[in-house]
Homo-oligomer: A and B are copies of this chain.
Amino acid sequence: MRLSIDVHLDYAFPEPADVLLQIEAAALPDQRIESESLVIYSDNPIRAVAGEEGIGQRCWARADQRLMADYRAVITVERPVVNLAQLAPTPVRLLPPETVGYLLPSRYCESDRFEHFVRRQFAGLSGGALAVALIDWVRGALEYSSAATQLRGGALTTFAERRGVCRDYAHLLVALARAAEIPARCVAVYAPGVDPPDFHAAAELWLAGAWHLVDATGMANSADMVRVAVGRDATDIAFMTIFGTAFLFAQTVVVRRLDAQS
């Protein structure tokens, strides 16, 4: 799968502010960057640092009055389709150290609240079969609704509200997976088919020795998502974190499938 990504950001800043951008596709074995260009219009130097877990990178910029950025890339995704349901469980005590933090609750994934629910609702399941049951449950229980975005709540609220946008789906799936003793993290991705077109959030579940990408909303499938950043929840993977105040002028995210032969 070849994808073209085209992002335009334009924000106004009443006072100078530091800004952390995470909008570049990460170079990873299963997603190859064919071409890439990031232009940040700023009089100040840009500083790039590695992202969480060494995946992708973050750019620090100093915004003075206005910050514009253009990102264009062509990415080839070659990610084998995995039948999650057949993956074996791993007892938590045998997990690799780098996954342990993804078993714990975070700001928007209050997994400690869901242990009893998961144990009862999904009794008898483990490993990939449990993961698939969790994904199906979230997809069935929630309704996609941008009306709920303003609430800025976490998985606990989404679990009751039963609706939300991509980040709410991701938070709830991640929280339930952690409560089920499956390491889970949030992933910022680009994907075609996201409606309305925007930055997108998905989840990664750790099963049978590897992270597996899942879009709980069902809008994207594992084979055509491009990872930008990973982290414990939306706080880690935000496309823009503003240390101050900003106003949106314009923002567009366009992701297109390219003909593989072209």
Would you call A97 an interface residue if the criterion is a C-beta within 8 Å of the partner chain's C-beta atoms?
A: yes
Interface size on A, residues (CB 8 A): 48
Q: Is the interface of A mostly helix, strand, loop or mixed?
A: mixed
**Interface bits A154-171 vs B (CB < 8 Å: 1, else 0):** 001101111100000000
Q: Interface stretch among A99-107, A127-135, A193-201?
A: A99-107
A78-119 CB contact bits vs B (8 Å, 1 = yes)? Answer: 000000000000011110110011001111001011101100
Number of copies: 4
Residue of B nearest to A175 (CB): B160
In the complex, besides A104-B236, A116-B161, 6 extra interface pairs with C-beta distance below 8 angstroms are A20-B92, A49-B96, A60-B93, A105-B107, A151-B152, A159-B159
Binding site for B on A (CB under 8 A): 18-20, 47, 49-50, 52, 58, 60-62, 91-94, 96-97, 100-101, 104-107, 110, 112-114, 116-117, 120, 143, 150-152, 156-157, 159-163, 181, 231-232, 235-236, 241, 243
